[in-house]
Amino acid sequence: MRSEVRGAISEGTVHELLAHLRDGVYLQQHPLAQLLVAAPGKRGEALRELLLGLLERLKPEPGTPLGDPAWRPYQSLHLRYVEQLPPWRVQEVMALSERQVRREQSRGVAALAQLLTEVLAELGPAQPAGPAQLWHEAARSFETALQPLDVQPLLQEVIQTAQPRLRACGVTLELRVPSELTLYADRVTARQVLLHVLSAVAERASGQLIGLSAAKEGGSVVLRFQAPCIEPPLTAEALAECNVLAELSLGSVWQEREQGWVISCSYPAKRPFTCLLIDDEEAAERLLQRMLHGSNIRVVAVRRSEEAVAVAERLRPDVIMLDVLMPRRDGWEVLQALRSHPVLGSTPVVVCSVWKDPELALALGASAFIRKPLTRPQVLAVLERVLPTRNEG
């Protein structure tokens, strides 16, 4: 969520909320839900009711004929997000083209954004975005390059960089790191996380011994910083910041009390698969990320279909998930371009569409077809089938 919380609500935020209108977990965890005066467990439901109420306010004046264009913004949003009709069916009901429906939906979303901004303004003055929110925004635009990293040299680099801080705090390090241990991560962001953690531990454990160990645990490599300090080394905000960067490499950071405090940093021990999502809907990226959480598959999204082939050529993903209904260049054109590409021609492509046309998808070279709305078991089963069986180096 951006600094727009209790400020001007963007049309993108409204569109995402509408796309998750029936996703109770998403609405409950949304920052806007926390601003509503309701029981903690009911705020997601309250946010949904607020959105539905504001949508009703888009109806034209009483007595307006049903065929009047003034109904179109309300009708286009209600059919798509409340009645959950697929886009083609909305076009059919409204007797409008795809472009016309999109235009009416944009008008409706803009009006809802203004109404939502006015409602939230009544709750109090705008609050600045917290550090974790700003880190999330920065992370969304940071392009990572996952690669194998030898743990010993990586830690030596981090320790060398942190030496001035370690000397100032008077701490010493005890390393217990086996040789030939490799993790997979983006080098820049992994270094930043480890430096931040080491500096925080050094400050809390001034003048004492810090234990630094690493070991392979299941499908992860876990690095642990242990110090006999009384208070947790990382504040809640600092821990959130570290996790924003670690999650770019499918990693995580946590701290726990154990003969002092231990901060653990976990990264994949095997090369993660990369899934390139080509879909103009921002909500589709977050939905797929939630579906693939814990699967050792990272999601990279491109929303402009005309840029998709160039991004895929640079990224070299293990699999591509491709929407069909996109402006400027539809998914069928993108699929044909991918199949004729000298490098990407053999990359598995899973076509995802509200249109039930698997025969066309397969005829154009797709590896599989999934009809929207997607479900997690369905997505995982298809990806397991089309991805390579080996996931090493």
| CA atoms of 87 and 256, how far apart (whole Å) | 48
Q: Which residue has the tokens 């931040």?
A: 196
Average pLDDT over residues 241-256: 88
| Out of 233-237, 357-361, 364-368, least confident range | 233-237
- Three-state DSSP class for 210? strand
Residue ranges of the chain that CATH labels 3.40.50.2300: 273-386
Given a cut of 80, is residue 379 above it in pLDDT?
A: yes
Helix axes 236-247, 187-204, angle to 10 degrees: 160
Predicted pLDDT at 350: 95
Q: Tell me if 353 sits within 8 A of 281, measured CB to CB.
A: no
pTM, entire model: 0.61
In sequence order, which residues have a C-beta less than 8 Å from that of residue 319 and are 6 or more positions away? 273, 274, 275, 276, 347, 348, 349, 350, 383, 386, 387
Q: Tell me if 71 sits within 8 A of 59, measured CB to CB.
A: yes
- Burial per residue of 137-169, b for 16 or more beta-carbon CB atoms within 10 angstroms, e otherwise: eebeeeebebeebebbebbeebbeebeeebeeb
Beta strands in 62-195 (DSSP E): 146-150, 172-176, 182-186
Considering only CA atoms, which of 177, 100, 190 is closest in space to residue 148?
190
Residue ranges of the chain that CATH labels 3.30.565.10: 147-268
User: How distant, in Å, are the alpha carbons of 19, 101, 356 from that of 373?
Assistant: 11, 20, 11
Given a cut of 80, is residue 378 above it in pLDDT?
A: yes
Instruction: Quickly name the fold that domain 147-268 has.
Output: Heat Shock Protein 90 (3.30.565)
How do residues 152-165 score in pLDDT, each as one tens digit? 999 999 999 999 99
Length of the chain: 393
Peptide bond into 373 cis (omega under 30): yes
DSSP per residue, 248-279? TTT-EEEEEESSSEEEEEEEESSPPEEEEEE-
Question: At the top level of CATH, which class does the domain 273-386 belong to?
Answer: alpha beta
Tokens of 150: 């030898």
Q: Could you give the angle at the alpha carbon of 55 between the alpha carbons of 51 and 60, nearest 5°?
A: 165
Give percent of the chain with pLDDT exceeding 70. 90
How do residues 313-342 score in pLDDT, each as one tens digit? 998 999 999 998 888 888 899 999 999 999
In sequence order, which residues have a C-beta less than 8 Å from that of residue 168 and are 6 or more positions away? none
Predicted pLDDT at 122: 65
Q: How close are the terminal C-alpha atoms of the chain, in Å?
A: 35
Average pLDDT over residues 127-148: 62
Q: Tell me if 255 sits within 8 A of 233, measured CB to CB.
A: yes
| CA atoms of 3 and 9, how far apart (whole Å) | 9
Given a cut of 90, is residue 126 above it in pLDDT?
A: no
Predicted pLDDT at 39: 63
- Three-state DSSP class for 39? coil
- Helix (H) or strand (E) holding 375, with range, is none
